[in-house]
Amino acid sequence: FAFQERAYSTDYIFNDSGKKRVLITGGLGQLGYGVASELRKEIGTNNVILSDIKVPDSSVKENGPFVHLDILDPEAIEKIVVNEDIGAIIHFSAVLSALGEQFPQKALDININGTQHVLDISKKHQLRLLIPSSMGAFGPSTVRQNTPDLAIMRPKTVYGIAKVYAELMGEYYNSKHGVDFRSLRYPGIISADSLPGGGTTDYAVDIFHSAVKSNKYNCYLKNDAGLAMMYIDDCVTETVKFFLADNNTLKQRVYNVDAISFTPEELANEIKKQWSEKFEITYAPDFRQNIAITWPEYMNDSKAREDWGYNPKIVSTKDLVSVMFQKINKQK
């Protein structure tokens, strides 16, 4: 889309003191690098600092600034914010839903305490703060189809509870302390080159790699476990659009975003059509099935479309499968 049509301002100053550099936490996860690359195109390579507790490949450092950061160390976060003139944080550090059930204490530490640290630092230095939420913030008592932004939120995972905490605390810091808090409730994100880890929706990424490797996949969800999903390029583009959106276009601080909905069986059928008739799927549901049935099959994201122009491009299972195999084939 044309530069002039963008709904967000082009000066990218994130707070009153004119700070315009962005710190991304959990930068080596599924989304960090992609979001950093897209944001760097908009605000300049050196204005986006990627961080993680993990050690990056040399290519990560070659493509822009990277700092080592433990999200449980608030002094270390503040030091970077002050020394590097940070005006905004995108907070990706999190333990995902399935891993969080296996390591609840670790999930509580990172997902609650890590979040609280970035909230407090954002309050102190008046930063813009984007903390992604997830459809995992919903639970078994939420309507699973066309789930609205305002719905019952009684999640049954540590991950989901921490997402509700982040949403509510972010809204509180926004109204009480003026923090420019923003959040998107992501569905499962499907990517070819960066892998998720420890999520309930990971099957929808693993299945492609398994098809290419062995033409079969043993799925840990039941054949009819429909869930909301989105292709990574849409996630990256739309997250950057939302992050840079003018504050006055946002009528709420937290938005549902969604793109595609399918069951494991529907995805497998499309893979059979586009990859190989011989592709075989088997089902061995485990504890992740019990999480999946408490999450939306699809969410209503009309508010995101109205307020800041949310507009994903890949909206069918057919197009998703096609783009995934194009990407995976290129990697070979």
Catalytic residues: 159
Q: What's the min distance (Å) between Cβ of 156 and ligand AKB?
A: 13
Q: What's the min distance (Å) between Cβ of 95 and ligand AKB?
A: 9
Q: What's the min distance (Å) between Cβ of 267 and ligand AKB?
A: 15
Q: Whose Cβ is closer to ligand AKB: residue 69's or residue 232's?
A: 232
Q: Whose Cβ is closer to ligand AKB: residue 129's or residue 235's?
A: 235
Q: How far lies 119's CA from each of 9, 92, 109, in Å?
A: 24, 13, 15
Q: Whose Cβ is closer to ligand AKB: residue 47's or residue 93's?
A: 93
- Please give the angle made by the CA atoms of 316, 240 and 17, to the nearest 5 degrees: 165
Q: What's the min distance (Å) between Cβ of 291 and ligand AKB?
A: 8
- Please answer whether residues 231 and 190 qualify as being in contact, where contact means their C-beta atoms are separated by less than 8 angstroms: yes
Q: What's the min distance (Å) between Cβ of 97 and ligand AKB?
A: 3
Q: Quick count: other Cβ atoms within 10 Å of Cβ 97?
A: 27
What span, in angstroms and rounded, lies between the C-alpha atoms of 154 and 137?
8
Which residues neighbour 138 within 8 Å (Cβ) at sequence distance 6 or greater?
147, 151, 152, 153, 155, 160, 294, 295, 296
What span, in angstroms and rounded, lies between the C-alpha atoms of 311 and 286?
34
Which residues neighbour 223 within 8 Å (Cβ) at sequence distance 6 or greater?
263, 264, 265, 281, 283
Q: Whose Cβ is closer to ligand AKB: residue 27's or residue 196's?
A: 196
Footprint on this chain of ligand AKB (rule: CB under 6 A): 96-97, 134-136, 159, 186, 188, 196, 199-201
Q: How far lies 180's CA from each of 88, 172, 246, 250, in Å?
A: 9, 11, 11, 10
Question: What are 46's two structure tokens?
Answer: 């050196």
Q: Whose Cβ is closer to ligand AKB: residue 27's or residue 296's?
A: 296
Which residues neighbour 330 within 8 Å (Cβ) at sequence distance 6 or greater?
none
